[in-house]
Structure 1
Amino acid sequence: MVGLGTTYGPPTTTTRTTAYDVPEGVCVRGLYHEDFARILTKDALRFVALLHRDFRNHVRYALECRRDAQRLYDEGMLPRFDPVTRYIREGDWMCAPVPPAVVDRKVEITGPVERKMIINALNSGAKVFMADFEDALSPSWENLMRGQVNLRDAVNGTISYHDKARNRVYKLNDQVARLFVRPRGWHLPESHILIDGEPATGCLVDFGLYFFHNYAAFRRNHGGGFGPFFYLPKMEHSREAKIWNEVFDRAEKVAGIERGSIRATVLIETLPAVFQMDEILYELRDHSVGLNCGRWDYIFSYVKTFRGHPDRLLPDRVQVGMTQHFMKSYSHLLIRTCHRRGVHAMGGMAAQIPVRDDPEANEAALELVRKDKLREVKAGYDGTWAAHPGLIPACMEVFVTNMGIAPNQIGSAKREDAADITEEDLLEKPRGARTMDGLRLNTRVGIQYLAAWLTGTGSVPLYNLMEDAATAEISRVQIWQWLKYGAELNGDGVRVKVSADLFGRVVEEEMARIEREVGKDKFRKGMYKEASRIFAKQCTVPRLDDFLTLDAYNHIVIHHPTVSSKL
């Protein structure tokens, strides 16, 4: 494969007669750019269209099943293990052996598919880099297509980046992390590509374009005959894993590679999915390399699932850690499930970022990371996540010290105590205080993250933590929950109930604080007022929306005229 070059100019803004060469039934309404056209080839779009047509009805059914389940939860039902699939949970089956190329995953780094980020992450010393089209990326047309260009260059080893401000050129080292790619969730459309007159399924666009252009070079250069490798987000039921398994089968057949070449790790980041872990692995058993403890989205999902349950109000989000009984139970059951089936159990995200101007605060942050990673490795995890290259040495030291030369703990950490984890353990109500400071932090973080997202940035450093869509979602749904049920806040000796008037005042006051913190000029030029409007609306709607980004996505879709579409 030939790389697409190391740099490219800004998207074309002048009127032109050139358009993407598309197959029958496909229309590309995103801005034309010559580099993007090398990704959006006629054959690549034909492959994406094939996947969309083959699986769109399966996806629609799965999403309708989600809505049906949520209606039952709203009426008081609790998630449970499915008695129909008990034979799967109690069976002795195993997943396919882990490929040698990814047998050691002690530390993984995650981040968006931005060019400099990809280079730094691959060079970071981590075992794996998860390039993210999902929670860490604002899915603008330019971000998505540039991401595909960047990944193609990375797979081919031709990627570089010239930082003009620092007069520095970034290139890949001789030894780099293994590359995994996370497409968007099933629920997100790609409105810049129409197939048979409807928006394409976003995750099939992400997967399809990346796989089509890179599978041969990836397997040759990076996967040892296996791969590409993926992370799969936001699933709630094994029927969704079955769709992915069939997508992989279809892609392998089209490419003419062996069945089971593609491998994927599933993020267990929704409350319903924790009751489906065995079933999810079973559906993907020929393509699986494990499960990941996606704890931030899991907290978001807990609130969303129990949006109709006034007795399940969460405390401040900073208090919902892995020591909460329902979180600890979920973590241990995930480890036992993975190791019983012969695949990796991956730990959660260390969201701290280096504090460059305060050595004492920086060391305190690193110590929190070390304690969290020590908890994970002793629990039996095979690896963990970090959000910043600066955390890799600390995370690696903890895992290497406690695991020695072993590449993973699949054969040694059985977690037999997790065999006794019950539905009640997984659903135990969280404990902790709800405070005015918690309400203010949720408001401030939610607005600032959304303002960045609307202007093209999906991974945002705020208050020494790396925030992404998952943590913004926690902020949103927690405020919604507190408003709906008039939660009582404590702090400074004052008790007050959350109300629309109180929230309105908090929004005004936190907007003033944001303006002070970022500066008047940046505040004026940014999307803070629009973000505040969207965020406040999402927090006060009578019925909780499933995802903040679904509503916000409409604000970043820009259609451009096309000349040669073939509808």
Structure 2
Amino acid sequence: MMGVGTYGNTAPGTSRSGGAAAGYDVPEGVEIRGRFDEEFAKILTKEALEFVAELQREFRNRIKYALECRKEAKRRYNEGAVPGFDPATKFIRETNWVCAPVPPAVADRRVEITGPVERKMIINALNSGAKVFMADFEDALSPTWENLMRGQVNLKDAVDGSITFHDKARNRVYKLNDKNTAKLFVRPRGWHLLEAHILIDGEPATGCLVDFGLYFFHNYAGFRQTQGAGFGPFFYLPKMENSREAKIWNCVFERAEKKAGIERGSIRATVLIETLPAVFQMDEILHELRDHSVGLNCGRWDYIFSYIKTFQGHPDRLLPDRFLVGMTQHFMRNYSDLLIRTCHRRGVHAMGGMAAQIPIRDDPAANEAALDLVRKDKLREVKAGHDGTWAAHPGLIPACMEVFTNNMGSNNPNQIQSMRREDASSITEEDLLERPRGVRTLEGLRLNTRVGIQYLAAWLTGTGSVPLYNLMEDAATAEISRVQNWQWIKYGVELDGDGLGVRVGNELFGRVVEEEMQRIEREVGKEKFKKGMYKEACKLFTRQCTAQTLDDFLTLDAYNHIVMHHPRGSSRL
């Protein structure tokens, strides 16, 4: 268990955060190992922790079983099997049923902005002009104690409308607009991530139950008054692989609604289809969540990561350079089309993927070229039938909004009813698994290494969303970098282009790491490089790329590093 042995022994129901006078008031069986803070104490109330503990005790065994099922599926894939549609649930795919009607409050989601639960980010995102802001406890956030608890404080203030931020460097105060703020969705962590700073009955809590439980407990009443028009709160659910995992979430929602005394179906969620196994279970996932669903989303970067991870034992399925794996690849286009057809048949939103570009302020020509790429990508999405899309930066919202409004109509909130509903059965398992085409180059290996190390260095110091080379990188793109390097090294990929005839191995990778570290030092400057955690990140990233067995997630090993080096979640990372 992560972090459990770091702090010594503490009796259940106590806190090691500052003694009896300064500690949190915790219920029986709950232990807080993060630092004490008066603001955090308003979130970590005894009643809120009791609710989180109830969820943990009721669902932990089901979560553990679901994770064991993932391991069993991985074993089968590593032995040569491939994912596919489940014959046992064919009746769900072929029967005509629909999800609960989409609430009017979130009928229009044509552009959504995403970002971590940082205070200034929350204000700017809610004011950005986007229809929805997805506040992220997952891939865009480094899960330090400080970030997680400060994020809960920030969201509570956002829901009640009191959130402000004083930027002392600019002597500017940020606050919410009086009207037309984005609707707030929250993405908790995935099932696989634990919370080492909160122990329940002696073991770390499940991270997503902490994120969901604390947010729901403190905000469901205020949210329904200010955001939801009779429905809500709203969530995004990440990293699921099958409908069994969706069923757990549905039961969590029902348990929370019953506890709060609100109507069944008040909580609504969009599921990110960002694992390869889940694309074959989209109908089943929606069916499990049919009273609580508002759609599916093409989490395309994690989907690429999952494709590589799922086929880690298949040397005939090596991906080309990551920037070549776009939505025009056959398996990616069919993934998007099947998601759209499935969602519209079931009466919910089909959300498009992330535009990761960020404005290039010192080069107008390059900035316009980047915006043109965004417009083309969004035009493809809206014409394919998507009801909305994601943007990583407020500067992209006008361009994305213009494309969707021009093609969808200003009075048409979505395309759920208006798009022609094509038969989903015409998309086959082979369409979804077709091998991607393209070259594998030395520059691709270099870019993976450079991005992976820099992202991980930022993550270790508490930053989970990082601008690199005019793109906003988060854990998903770092994961692609890691698993692709691992796959190329494991199978001794022969490189194309300038690396013609050269095979990737530990020796070549070692030279690339050394040269890219020198380049990173030149780019960021000696002082920043010295103060940063680039060397620690390099060791972690190199170890994972050259390991005999591929780790399921980069962040698991990195989280242990955070817990060991900052056991009480100090804000001075």
TM-score range, shorter chain: over 0.9
The runs of at least 4 consecutive aligned structure 1 residues that moved more than 6 Å come to: 12-16
Q: Do the aligned residues in 2 keep the contact of 1:293 with 1:347 (CA within 8 Å)?
A: yes
Inter-CA distance 37–208: structure 2 relative to 1 (3 Å threshold):
same
Deviations 1:342-362 (A, max 9, x none): 000000000000001000000
2:10 matched to which residue of 1?
none
Alignment partner of 2:457 out of 448, 451, 454? 451
When normalised by structure 1's length, the TM-score is 0.96
Deviations 1:502-561 (A, max 9, x none): 000000000000000000000000000000000000001101000000000011123349
2:166 matched to which residue of 1?
162
Deviations 1:460-510 (A, max 9, x none): 000000000000000000000000000011122633100100000000000
1:208 matched to which residue of 2?
213
2:245 matched to which residue of 1?
240
CA distance in 2, matches of 1:197, 1:251: 23
- Give the 5 Å matches for 1:171-190: 171-174=175-178, 175-190=180-195
Alignment partner of 2:283 out of 278, 284, 288? 278
Alignment partner of 2:134 out of 121, 130, 135? 130
CA distance in 2, matches of 1:16, 1:527: 35
Q: Do the aligned residues in 2 keep the contact of 1:332 with 1:415 (CA within 8 Å)?
A: no
CA distance in 1, matches of 2:28, 2:77: 43
Inter-CA distance 484–256: structure 2 relative to 1 (3 Å threshold):
same
Question: What secondary structure does 1:179 align onto?
Answer: strand
AA aligned opposite 2:408: M
Alignment partner of 1:393 out of 392, 398, 406? 398
When normalised by structure 2's length, the TM-score is 0.95
Q: What stretches of structure 2 of length at least 5 have no aligned partner? A: 1-15
2:90 matched to which residue of 1?
86
Q: Do the aligned residues in 1 keep the contact of 2:145 with 2:568 (CA within 8 Å)?
A: no
Count residues in correspondence: 550
Shift of 1:15: 8.1
Alignment partner of 2:417 out of 386, 395, 411? 411
AA aligned opposite 2:364: P
Question: What secondary structure does 1:410 align onto?
Answer: coil
Alignment partner of 2:531 out of 509, 525, 530? 525
Q: Do the aligned residues in 1 keep the contact of 2:494 with 2:500 (CA within 8 Å)?
A: no
RMSD of equivalent CA atoms: 1.3
Q: Check if 1:228 corresponds to 2:233.
A: yes
Alignment partner of 1:538 out of 534, 539, 544? 544
AA aligned opposite 1:514: I
CA distance in 2, matches of 1:235, 1:224: 29
Shift of 1:415: 4.4
AA aligned opposite 1:502: L
Shift of 1:417: 5.6
Alignment partner of 2:554 out of 548, 551, 563? 548
Alignment partner of 1:559 out of 560, 567, 572? 567
CA distance in 2, matches of 1:204, 1:555: 22
CA distance in 2, matches of 1:331, 1:91: 21
Question: What secondary structure does 2:22 align onto?
Answer: coil
Q: Check if 1:46 corresponds to 2:54.
A: no
CA distance in 2, matches of 1:529, 1:560: 23
Q: Do the aligned residues in 2 keep the contact of 1:56 with 1:201 (CA within 8 Å)?
A: yes
Q: What stretches of structure 1 of length at least 5 have no aligned partner? A: 1-11, 562-567
Question: What secondary structure does 2:198 align onto?
Answer: strand
Alignment partner of 1:462 out of 455, 468, 475? 468
CA distance in 1, matches of 2:19, 2:99: 53
Question: What secondary structure does 1:416 align onto?
Answer: coil
CA distance in 2, matches of 1:303, 1:284: 28
Q: How many percent of aligned residue pairs carry the same amino acid?
A: 80
- Give the 5 Å matches for 1:84-483: 84-174=88-178, 175-404=180-409, 405-416=411-422, 418-483=424-489
Inter-CA distance 56–117: structure 2 relative to 1 (3 Å threshold):
same
CA distance in 2, matches of 1:550, 1:494: 35
Q: Do the aligned residues in 2 keep the contact of 1:125 with 1:392 (CA within 8 Å)?
A: yes
Deviations 1:410-461 (A, max 9, x none): 0122341643100000000000000000000000000000000000000000
CA distance in 1, matches of 2:185, 2:499: 49
Q: Do the aligned residues in 1 keep the contact of 2:32 with 2:197 (CA within 8 Å)?
A: yes
Q: Do the aligned residues in 2 keep the contact of 1:329 with 1:418 (CA within 8 Å)?
A: no
